[in-house]
Structure 1
């Protein structure tokens, strides 16, 4: 089937279109909210430590709840789980709008709301990652996953830029638009139709850890997921972008929005390239090399005093990270049985959440000790060290030739 025919076929599945639009609107709102939360927290406290706490407050609920959330995604109606998580985020955005407009937003309120967002995302990610397989035929699944990822990248590009520009008019304006987008997402999620899970699936809460047990027996998948964890955990600088924007690059909220959007621009360009020229051979080498490039970009970003050079470094880092993401997500989709996809997606979500939220806490902590530049430099060196270590710890990943195991040479 040609590319235009594939996309037309996807558009013929109404529930998938609703799903795509739900993810787009909620991701756009989430990115805008992260920009506003970071800038508002730094305005209130001028503390790198508090910026890190925002990430930690989102990570801890995800750490505690994501495995049970994977069980929920395999046992209950995934679209309704997604709807509930989106509604909780809409409630958080509405509360922030009220507090910011009334002038009583505080450090403690931002941290409390961050915990609520962490709870919502803990349930949202496994359900949304496992949902496409129920909405389109298996022959269209790779295209559906790619299209969904492209929509998320568009939101990651547009959300920070819009949030940064609107913040000039006030944090309450940003949060109000976030609430509206999330309510739209709720309405769209209510229109998603799919079959309920079979009664035989996930009968007992003892199956919560099945995803962990499954990955333990899949060293290539485990290596790919853990590599992404440590790369972003050590090399991510998202939490420190307000400091770099304000104190090092001497720009305002609009500059922060551009910095946050730059990695997604690189990721979107790379995803478009990979859609036309997919990786066919030596995928393990490509993945580890891309992570190494990501680490080098972090070193350049740490030493840059130019907004444009910093944006280029972040753009290239996003492109390199997308190579790793495409390989990892494809492996998870191809090698996980459908009845376990929610629980395996939950484990994957923990790794993603750890690399993002816990990485923000790590960045804030090390920045408080050695400054933002030293923190990012240390992280970049750490990424390079992990890349070298993973070639020895996971030789199967390093030697992986093709994504499809059935096509591996005997």
Structure 2
């Protein structure tokens, strides 16, 4: 596999300026991945890109004017069908399915013309729903980009760009510093990489370092582990956004996975989550604060639902795909691989909007 990717990379570099002009930075190197998926070594992964069929009814999805605030605990799920359609068709497009490419292009153009999501309520939970849908939309655009004409690119970017800038907002509360902010900055960073906006890219890069600085020496995140029965759930949520930021940085040759602030790096946070999965008592002292725990009020009953598929076939552990694929040294990676083989591999393809789509298709091997 390494030899195949090295060969492809050498050929792409040899192609010179023509390739450099077409190169798309973003969540992953689109053209390098497209070329790799065409090789026999990744036949099974290409099959994962195509595992979910394209639903013709997706072309009839009506643009959503805006996402709304919800009462109590939860997030507006009005855009779930749209996000699922985009994620499925993006993977299929990357694998060379021309029908999906046409459908994805038409869907994004239609929603761009309608200025979908423009009237999203200015509330933190409505904006959270918008952040969730923006990441797969950005990745879909990055995969489509080479086949769009200038007018189509302008239309789609003219729709996405103000939405991305809209979510760069503070609400003067905890959501400006917890997983809500991590998600926002992962979106800003990805869009910044796709469009070449260095100020947006820097938002995510700087946030990643801030998260490490604010983590406890044991790798726990104080604003997440206090969440009662969902303490580990939100630790996993934060790791997803950190993985997205690290992958975007990697397309530019920067190693955020290896970056350390004081005693903490990515592996330390992963290890804390894995320790909690094996022995939930690890998190109990923090979780006992029981701050907005969700439906389960007993902090001792840690929600491990993220280890299984959820609605629309999405999987909250999709972030493990790029980490495992990098084959990084260290005990944290070995333990994550063991969890992957034991609990996650049979659920492939792992698809999730928080990681931008079909993670098995984007990074799997």
Normalising by structure 2, report the TM-score: 0.30
Higher relative contact order (CA 8 A, sep 6+): 1
